[in-house]
Structure 1
Amino acid sequence: MGKRLAAECVGTALLLAISCSTGFAAARLAGGDAALALMLASAVSSVGLAVLILAFGPVSGGLFSPVLTLSQAWRGGLALEEALPYIAAQTAGAFIGAACAHAMFDLNWLVASTQVRTGAAQWLGEFIATFGLLAVFIGCGRSRPVVAPFAVAGYVMAACWFSPSAAFMNPAMTLARVFGSGGIRLADAPAYILAQLAGAAAATALFIWLHSTRRRTAI
Structure 2
Amino acid sequence: MSTPRRLTAEALGTGLLVCTVVGSGIMAETLTEDTGLALLANTLPTGAILMVLITILGPLSGAHFNPAVTLVFALRREIAGMLALAYVAAQVAGGIVGTFAAHAMFAQPVLQASLHVRTGGAQWFAEALAAFGLVLTILGGLRSRPEAVPVLVGLYITAAYWFTASTSFANPAVAIARSLTDTFSGIRPADLPGFIIAECAGAVLAAGFCGWLFRERT
TM-score (ref. length: structure 2)? 0.94
Matches within 5 A, 1:112-151: 112-151=113-152
Q: Secondary structure at the match of 1:14?
A: helix
- The CA deviation at 1:21 is 0.5
Q: Is the 8 A contact 2:55 2:150 kept in 1?
A: yes
Matches within 5 A, 1:6-85: 6-29=8-31, 31-85=32-86
RCO higher in 1 or 2 (8 Å CA, sep ≥ 6)? Answer: 2
- The CA deviation at 1:77 is 2.1
Q: Which moved more, 1:150-159 or 1:181-190?
A: 181-190
1-side partners of 2:60 and 2:181: how far apart? 31
Q: 1:187 aligns with which of 185, 190, 193?
A: 190
Which structure has the greater CA radius of gyration? 1
Residue of structure 1 in register with 2:157 after alignment? 156
Please list the CA deviations of residues 154-201 of structure 1 after superposition, one character each: whole Å capped at 9, or x if unmatched.
000011111111211110111111112231111110000000011001
Q: Is the 8 A contact 2:74 2:80 kept in 1?
A: yes
Q: Which moved more, 1:170-179 or 1:103-112?
A: 103-112
2-side partners of 1:57 and 1:115: how far apart? 32
Q: Is the 8 A contact 1:122 1:164 kept in 2?
A: yes
Q: Secondary structure at the match of 2:147?
A: coil
Q: Secondary structure at the match of 1:146?
A: helix
2-side partners of 1:195 and 1:44: how far apart? 25
2-side partners of 1:55 and 1:153: how far apart? 14
- The CA deviation at 1:76 is 2.5
Please list the CA deviations of residues 66-119 of structure 1 after superposition, one character each: whole Å capped at 9, or x if unmatched.
011111121222122210000000010000001101111111242221110111
1-side partners of 2:15 and 2:130: how far apart? 22
Q: Is the 8 A contact 1:107 1:181 kept in 2?
A: no
RMSD, aligned CA: 1.2
Q: 1:209 aligns with which of 191, 208, 212?
A: 212
- The CA deviation at 1:56 is 0.6
- The CA deviation at 1:210 is 1.8
TM-score (ref. length: structure 1)? 0.94
- The CA deviation at 1:213 is 4.3
| Identical aligned residues as a percent | 43
1-side partners of 2:169 and 2:46: how far apart? 12
Aligned length: 214
Q: Is the 8 A contact 2:117 2:188 kept in 1?
A: yes
Runs (5+) with no aligned partner, structure 1: none
For 1:14, give the aligned amino acid: L
2-side partners of 1:38 and 1:176: how far apart? 18
Q: Is the 8 A contact 1:109 1:181 kept in 2?
A: no
Q: Is the 8 A contact 2:96 2:180 kept in 1?
A: no
Q: Secondary structure at the match of 1:121?
A: helix
Following TM superposition, where does structure 1 have runs of at least 4 consecutive aligned residues deviating by more than 2 angstroms? 211-215
Runs (5+) with no aligned partner, structure 2: none
1-side partners of 2:16 and 2:37: how far apart? 23
